[in-house]
């Protein structure tokens, strides 16, 4: 855990001073965040950094993990997919299990804080089971630009009870929804194990430990094994790149407890690249290890993010912070981070050949890779670090106090 003072050399004295001023008016307030997993995915990572910092500046802040059984998380994964445009069979049994998990949680968890922040759809109905005496905020981290109509209408009955919705992109605003919608971009923590500076010795140690040789350029995608991240499409692009440059692909993704589809996607990818796995030219990693991710990103020649849908894309942010060139899909929050041709390349997610061409271009042009890396790091420093998220939340609470 870090204090705000630890970020001084990264963000400067003005940022630190402004945060303390914003926090002063909120001393004594109690804030609570609720989400569905302690590790795996960007939400948990942000909360792991944000909650200690909020406490450090004088605001009592807690974090509760929503409990659900495997059936519940299977259902909410379908909800997650449907919010991003998938079809769904919204049966009465799915609704009933969804309600039951939230009702059970409410029995064991007392919420008497000044502000309640609910993250994503899993705990969304919690508000139904409490006497609402304080502001409730729903923080949705997924792409809401084209939600399944039936599911959205079902979830709206709970959303209407909230005082505010926080989303990650102007494109995700829902027209006609009579609840205030505020945009707050996700961020990374530059001092977390996944993003902090590490030595070449540490990088070599972790790559060796997890069986990643460095005898040829490494191309990496860091993402859950999720169909929206298109890991199969990444392998298809790699096969084209391999014809022009001898390189190695690493797909590294944790298996989050609230994502039961992960192992199915992993096995599908594995079958697609068996020959390359046998030659050690494709390496699949499912270990939850932040230092490994850090080492992989810092040692990669190119980072890919070939998402079909993407709420924001913090793996892109992480790669840019490490001054790596990124080839990514022009979807969700990724274009907010990448200026095409300046600090990376943006492509249609289905343009597999285009992905391959841009990767080859970077691999064959070290000067271009270095220039893009420098541009990317500066963008993250200015706009996408944890201190900015802390400041945004303080602004939100101060606005609601008026």
| Interval 350-395: pLDDT, tens | 999 999 999 999 999 999 999 999 999 999 999 999 999 999 999 9
Average of per-residue pLDDT across 137-144: 95
Q: Confirm whether 366 is domain-assigned.
A: yes
pLDDT exceeds cutoff 90 at 128? yes
- Are 351 and 214 contained in the same domain? yes
Average of per-residue pLDDT across 219-229: 93
- Are 112 and 58 contained in the same domain? yes
Read off the pTM. Answer: 0.92
Residue 329 has a CB neighbour count (10 Å cut-off) of 27
> What is d(CA 317, CA 305) in angstroms, rounded to the nearest whole number?
11
- Are 41 and 176 contained in the same domain? yes
Q: Residue 400, by phi and psi: left (phi above 0), alpha (psi -120 to 50) or beta?
A: alpha
The more confidently predicted of residues 256 and 331 is 331
pLDDT exceeds cutoff 70 at 256? no
Q: Domain holding 105: CATH number?
A: 3.40.50.2000
**Consecutive H or E run containing 222:** strand 218-222
pLDDT exceeds cutoff 90 at 239? yes
pLDDT exceeds cutoff 70 at 234? yes
Residue with tokens 């605001």: 59
- Are 284 and 151 contained in the same domain? no
Q: Confirm whether 93 is domain-assigned.
A: yes
Q: What is the mean pLDDT of the chain?
A: 94
Q: Are 148 and 362 in contact (CB under 8 A)?
A: no
- Number of domain units in the chain: 2
Q: Confirm whether 193 is domain-assigned.
A: no
Cα-based distances in Å from 319 to 223, 337, 343, 384: 12, 11, 11, 12
What is the per-residue pLDDT for 41?
A: 74
- Are 391 and 298 contained in the same domain? no
Closest CA to 390 of 117, 143, 52, 114: 52
Helix runs in 300-345, H state only: 314-321
In 74-195, beta strands by DSSP E: 115-119, 136-139, 164-167, 180-183
What is the per-residue pLDDT for 67?
A: 87
Closest CA to 270 of 221, 231, 315, 313: 231
- Are 17 and 99 contained in the same domain? yes
Q: Confirm whether 37 is domain-assigned.
A: yes
* In the chain, % of residues over pLDDT 90: 88
What is the per-residue pLDDT for 288?
A: 77
Q: Which domain holds residue 102?
A: 4-187+385-401
Q: Confirm whether 195 is domain-assigned.
A: no
What is the per-residue pLDDT for 356?
A: 98
- Are 292 and 279 contained in the same domain? yes
- Are 290 and 169 contained in the same domain? no
- Are 46 and 125 contained in the same domain? yes
Closest CA to 249 of 268, 229, 231: 231
């Amino acid at each position: 855990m870090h204090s705000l003072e630890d970020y001084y050399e990264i963000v400067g004295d003005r940022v630190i001073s402004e945060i303390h001023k914003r926090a002063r008016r909120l001393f004594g307030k109690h804030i609570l965040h609720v989400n569905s997993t302690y590790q795996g995915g960007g939400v948990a990572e942000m909360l792991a950094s944000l909650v200690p910092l909020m406490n450090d500046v004088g605001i009592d802040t807690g974090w509760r993990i929503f409990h659900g059984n495997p059936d519940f998380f299977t259902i909410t994964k379908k909800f997650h997919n449907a919010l991003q445009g998938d079809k769904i069979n919204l049966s009465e049994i799915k609704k009933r299990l969804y309600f039951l998990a939230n009702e059970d949680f409410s029995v064991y968890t007392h919420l008497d804080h000044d502000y309640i922040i609910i993250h994503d759809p899993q705990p969304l109905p919690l508000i139904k089971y409490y006497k609402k005496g304080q502001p409730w905020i729903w923080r949705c981290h997924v792409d809401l630009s084209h939600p399944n109509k039936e599911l959205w209408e079902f979830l709206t009955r709970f959303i209407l009870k909230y005082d505010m919705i926080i989303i990650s992109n102007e494109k995700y605003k829902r027209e006609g929804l009579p609840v205030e919608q505020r945009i707050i971009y996700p961020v990374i923590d530059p001092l977390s194990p996944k993003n902090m500076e590490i030595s070449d010795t540490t990088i070599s140690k972790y790559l060796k430990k997890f069986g990643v040789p460095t005898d040829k350029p490494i191309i990496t995608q860091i993402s859950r094994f999720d169909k929206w991240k298109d890991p199969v499409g990444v392998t298809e692009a790699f096969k084209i790149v391999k014809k022009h440059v001898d390189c190695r692909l690493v797909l590294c993704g944790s298996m989050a407890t609230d994502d039961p589809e992960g192992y199915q996607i992993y096995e599908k990818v594995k079958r697609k690249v068996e020959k390359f796995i046998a030659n050690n030219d494709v390496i699949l990693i499912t270990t939850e290890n932040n230092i490994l991710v850090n080492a992989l990103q810092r040692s990669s020649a190119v980072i890919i993010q070939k998402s079909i849908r993407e709420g924001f894309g913090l793996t892109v942010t992480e790669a840019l912070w490490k001054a790596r060139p990124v080839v990514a899909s022009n979807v969700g929050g990724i274009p907010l981070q990448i200026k095409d041709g300046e600090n990376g390349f943006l492509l249609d997610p289905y343009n597999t050949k285009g992905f391959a061409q841009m990767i080859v271009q970077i691999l064959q042009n070290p000067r271009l890779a270095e220039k893009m890396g420098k541009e990317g790091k500066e963008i993250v420093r200015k706009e996408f670090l944890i201190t900015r998220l802390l400041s945004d939340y303080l602004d939100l609470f101060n606005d609601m106090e008026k």
